[in-house]
Amino acid sequence: MQASNSPTIFRRLLLVTAYLGFISLGLPDTLIGVAWPSVRAFFGRQQSEIAWIFFGAGASYFVSGLLTGKLLKSFGIGILLAGSSLLVTASALGYAVAPIWILFAACALLHGLGSGAIDAGLNHYVANHFSARHMNWLHACYGIGATLGPLIMTSMLVSLGSWRAGYAAVGGLLLLLTGLFIYTRKLWDIPGETTSTTSETEDSVSMLGALQHAGVWAHVLLFFIYTGLEVTVGQWSFTVMTEARGMNKEAAGMWVTIYWASLATGRVVFGFIVERLGIDRLLRLSMLAALIGTGLFTANLPFSVGALALVGLGLASIYPCLMTRTPQRLGKARAAHAIGFQVSAAMIGAALFPSVCGWLAQSRGLEAVTLATVAMSAALLLIHEALLRLDRSLS
């Protein structure tokens, strides 16, 4: 039975599976932030060497995203999702059993290859078959997975003293999801769908035209910095709290979990109020909240760890709101290319900024990482304000 003619129950099954797929994206992404102190000690590595994980996953994620269009045409989305989920599962289980550092780091390549295709494939499917509301909630599901990841890893560290058990537990959950993707693989594809109706020449000209628009570059820069900030706070705050500030692992893991939970909750809640408040106003308030939150966390005042919740809420709406604003601001034709640039820039930022912070932590101390997050938050706000002024000048 084809997905387009399936009863409502099958469409709901696919939507639920898509939600679970985005939860699976978030689950393994946030494990290394909590596991890193233990992993680093086990393999005898330096702080800066976490860059191998970020760059490995980021580079393979980037490549996977670029190839997704061709893979969709060759295999269909059902097979692509099942195969990609299997790669992510293999990476998590590989992390759990890797006996030496080079094999542990190599698992990041599998992680990125699988996650990139799942991300692009599910975005493609939901954008073409479901409403914008479901698209917003799809991205909220990433936050749910990102929340559960630190919670699972922390519980394994506290109860069993094993980071390997944390990766194994997540690998088991991902294996179940892989089975669901395999079960539903024939329901996803609609014969005759194409991913593009333009020629290579038209694509090339349109791409060059998009790059000549100042707003495109502003959006690319915002996505580059935003993801760098989100991942840096999520991956480094546990190490800062435990190694620089002496907090116990259970409490630090709880605060990292709260950070990701705030991001997920914010995306659900802001989805209901964004139209009433206005996208640009919500973005301005969100970026201001992120700046205040990172400033409070850096100040290390009593109870300032609670600022991580404020940072999570501040960051929650930025990615989906900027993505929604792209076609409104740039036009649909230009946005078709701009969105691709933004996703690519986001992946680079997610790999680059946490890696640079590893070098900062090694050379300047862990508190330098918190100062870097303040700088990133301030840059977001300033660039967005400049973009709003550009809008007014063009109107």
Please report the pLDDT score of residue 117 as a whole number: 81
Please report the pLDDT score of residue 13 as a whole number: 85
By the 8 A CB rule, do 376 and 232 touch? yes
Please report the pLDDT score of residue 200 as a whole number: 41
Please report the pLDDT score of residue 69 as a whole number: 64
Q: What would the 3-class secondary structure string for 42-69 be? A: HHCCCHHHHHHHHHHHHHHHHHHHHHHH
What distance in Å separates the CA atoms of residue 178 and residue 84, rounded to the nearest whole number? 9
**Which residue in 311, 338, 345, 344 sits closest to 324, CA to CA?**
338
- Residue 225, burial from CB neighbour count under 10 angstroms (0-12, 13-18, 19+): buried
Q: Walk me through the domains of the chain, giving residue ranges and CATH numbers.
A: 1-189 (1.20.1250.20), 200-395 (1.20.1250.20)
What distance in Å separates the CA atoms of residue 379 and residue 284, rounded to the nearest whole number? 12
- DSSP code for 177: H
What distance in Å separates the CA atoms of residue 362 and residue 351, rounded to the nearest whole number? 17
- Give the CA-trace dihedral at 306, 307, 310, 312, to 10 degrees: -90
By the 8 A CB rule, do 167 and 95 touch? yes
Please report the pLDDT score of residue 332 as a whole number: 67
Residue 39: in which H helix or E strand, if any? Answer: helix 31-43
Q: Residue 34, Cα to own-chain centre: how many angstroms?
A: 16
What distance in Å separates the CA atoms of residue 111 and residue 322, rounded to the nearest whole number? 26
pTM: 0.72
By the 8 A CB rule, do 234 and 256 touch? yes
Positive/negative CA dihedral, 232, 235, 241, 244? negative
DSSP characters over 330-345: H-HHHHHHHHHHHHHH
By the 8 A CB rule, do 82 and 181 touch? yes
Q: At what angle do helices 279-299 and 249-277 cross, to 10 degrees?
A: 160
Please report the pLDDT score of residue 197 as a whole number: 40
What distance in Å separates the CA atoms of residue 157 and residue 38, rounded to the nearest whole number? 9
Q: Mean pLDDT, 10 residues at a time, over the chain (395 residues)?
A: 55 86 88 92 90 88 72 81 93 97 96 85 69 74 87 93 96 93 82 42 51 81 95 93 92 90 89 85 96 96 87 92 81 68 82 90 94 98 94 78
Please report the pLDDT score of residue 330 as a whole number: 80
